[in-house]
Amino acid sequence: MKINTKEKLQILIFGLNAGRDLDVLYSGSKNLSDGTIYPIFSNDDLQFTLALDGTIESTIDDSSELSDMYTAKGCIACSIEEANELYPKIFKLEK
């Protein structure tokens, strides 16, 4: 994947941060009624699906569900912030 948009950089950084800081790995996929397939990421405590529009759905059915969702959303927010900072610098280097 060529990183040529800010959104692609955000996705890349999110994947790196989730894997490194949250120990999250790809564990399967969820097929929705419209045929869309979303990846499911999880570790022992955290499991969520990430839609193409950036929305997160926690799929854990216990008391930790909300905290897991907030953890995932925090990782996404930080990744977007980091990508927004880096993208102009990278784009400037390519010109």
Instruction: Answer whether residue 67 is part of any domain.
Output: yes
In a domain, 42, yes or no: yes
Which pTM value belongs to this model? 0.69
pLDDT of residue 24: 80
Q: Quick check: is 13 in a domain?
A: no
- Mean pLDDT (the chain) is 78
- Separation between Cα atoms, residue 72 and residue 58, nearest integer Å: 9
64 confidence band (pLDDT: 50, 70, 90): low
Q: Provide the 3-class DSSP secondary structure of residue 39.
A: strand
Q: Report the distance separating Cα 31 and Cα 80, nearest Å.
A: 26
- Give me the number of domains the chain comprises: 1
Domain that holds residue 69: 27-84
The verdict on residue 36 lying in a domain is yes
Is residue 35 included in any domain, yes or no?
A: yes
Of all helices (H) and strands (E), which one includes residue 9? helix 6-21
Output 39 or 16, whichever has higher pLDDT: 16
Instruction: Report the alpha-carbon distance of residue 39 to residue 59 in Å, rounded.
Output: 12
In tens, the pLDDT along 29-54 reads 767 677 666 667 777 777 777 766 76
